[in-house]
Amino acid sequence: MATDAPPPEGGTEKSPAQPTTEAFLAEQGSAEFGELRRSYRSFAFPLTVAFVLWYLLYVLLSNYAGGFMGTKVFSNINVAFVFGLAQFVTTFLIAWFYSRHANAKLDPKAEAIKDRMEADA
């Protein structure tokens, strides 16, 4: 679909240079890329395991500890309801922590790698 919009000031629109497959493979073996992957994995994997275990605890308690989960905390609110809400809170907290971690640790490293690869292409 063609557009009638004029090109941006300065002439034609220029997209960033695309690195070759060999450049991607070389970058994958670099120490900087390895550090980026370690930073990601050291954050994401433990939190994923912890959240899955937390979720399984909730499911197992719901199935096998009905008396405990049915314990009233106050009014008509029981332990199961509190655990269920805590699942949502945990999900949002993990997303928030990951966003902060990515902005502080992952994005600058990834941007440096991207800029270097585009400059070399």
On whether residue 59 sits in a domain, the answer given is yes
**pTM of the model as a whole:** 0.72
pLDDT in tens, 61-108: 999 999 999 999 999 999 999 999 999 999 999 999 999 999 999 999
The per-type count for the chain, helices as H runs and strands as E runs, is 5, 2
Q: Please indicate whether residue 22 or residue 81 has the higher confidence score (pLDDT).
A: 81
In angstroms, what CA-CA distances link 44 with 37, 38, 80, 91?
Answer: 10, 10, 27, 13
Q: How many domains does the chain contain in total? A: 1
How large is the average pLDDT for residues 40-59? 95
On whether residue 17 sits in a domain, the answer given is no
For the chain, give the mean pLDDT.
87
CB 47 within 8 A of CB 102: no
On whether residue 5 sits in a domain, the answer given is no
On whether residue 85 sits in a domain, the answer given is yes
Q: In which domain, by residue range, is 73 found?
A: 26-120
